[in-house]
Amino acid sequence: MASIITQAKRDELTRRMEKLGIRDEDLVERFVKGSGKGGQKVNKTSSCVYLFHEPTGVEIKCQQERSQALNRFFARRELCDRIEEKIRGEKSARQQEREKVRRQKRRRSRKQKARMLDDKRKHSEKKSRRRSVSPDG
């Protein structure tokens, strides 16, 4: 399978790594057998790339593609993204999305439920007082 990544993209990634101060000597790179769906190919080949950047402690595990070379490229790109986020001190959009889902799934406390039901009851009473008065009553 021919590599999809152009030389320009490789050079751009190399420049980005230099700019962030990521050196190949600081990386621990291992190739491991992947997990999850993919069947026999995943179970037999060590195409999953594990990267560890020692100075920052950032770990990356990438098995997006079947090709080891592609996974190496994507793992390095993900490493750059994570280190940039650490430098800027921002949370990634993906992490923010995860936190949002976690907040939505979290159960309400007893006090929150009671307050919510009380507000609903008050709102219902307010609306029932708006009803027109019947002429015979």
Q: For residue range 78-110, what is the model confidence (pLDDT) as tens digits?
A: 999 888 888 776 666 777 888 899 988 888 899
Domain that holds residue 29: 7-92
Please tell me whether residues 87 and 107 are part of one structural domain.
no
- Top mean pLDDT of 30-39, 68-77, 128-137 is at 68-77
Please tell me whether residues 53 and 83 are part of one structural domain.
yes
Among 6-20, 59-73, 88-102, 115-129, the range scoring the smallest mean pLDDT is 88-102
Structural tokens at position 44: 């037999």
DSSP string, 69-133: HHHHHHHHHHHHHHHHHHHHT---HHHHHHHHHHHHHSPPPHHHHHHHHHHHHHHHHHHHHTSPP
Please tell me whether residues 48 and 82 are part of one structural domain.
yes
Please tell me whether residues 63 and 116 are part of one structural domain.
no
Domain count, the chain: 2
User: Please, are residues 27 and 78 in contact by the beta-carbon 8 Å criterion?
Assistant: no
**CA nearest 3: which of 79, 77, 72?**
72
Please tell me whether residues 77 and 120 are part of one structural domain.
no
Task: Kindly report, residue by residue over 5-37, the tens digit of the pLDDT.
Answer: 888 998 999 999 888 888 888 889 998 888 777
* Residue 135 falls inside a structural domain: no
Please tell me whether residues 60 and 112 are part of one structural domain.
no
Please tell me whether residues 65 and 88 are part of one structural domain.
yes
Of 120 and 56, the one with more pLDDT: 120
